[in-house]
Amino acid sequence: MAQSQPPGTVSAATHLNRGNALFKEKRYQEALDEFLTAAKMDPKNALAANNAGFIYSKLQRMDDSVQWTKKAIEIDPKRAVAYQNLGDLYYQLNRPDDARPYYEKYLELASDKPYAATVRTRLTRQ
């Protein structure tokens, strides 16, 4: 059963929804603020951590992106998209050896997803 919120308060899910809407509008800093608020409200929310990591990469804050994406994996080790995001981040940083284990784990978890073909191609180029 969901916990009831006191009147006038906003849930972590609401902050996630706001962050997603702001992301679609390419308002990255505002989206990040919403995702970080959601993560603070619910520290075990892998989606909030993963989204924060993804937005940090959009803002070119790569160390923060790595930190938050790894946190998402720590919270939910079966969150395939977090492995994809971390692999992509290392790939963009021209660090294929660091990308490899994350891409391999992504394929283990999501080999049937459309992005898996891109991951396989990247792994064969290494």
Q: Residues 105-125: pLDDT tens digits?
A: 999 999 999 999 999 999 998
Q: Which amino acid is at 42?
A: D
Mean pLDDT, range 5-16, rounded to an integer = 78
The model's pTM is 0.87
Q: Hey, CA dihedral for 1, 72, 76, 105, is it positive or negative?
A: positive
CA-closest candidate to residue 33, choices 46, 47, 51: 51
pLDDT tens, position by position, 52-78: 999 999 999 999 999 999 999 999 999
One-letter amino acid at 96 equals P
**Which pair of structure tokens corresponds to residue 34?**
């919403």
Q: Is the pLDDT of residue 3 over 90?
A: no
The arithmetic mean of pLDDT across residues 29-49, rounded, is 98
Report the distance separating Cα 65 and Cα 22, nearest Å.
18
What the chain holds in terms of domains, given with CATH numbers, is: 11-61 (1.25.40.10), 78-126 (no CATH)
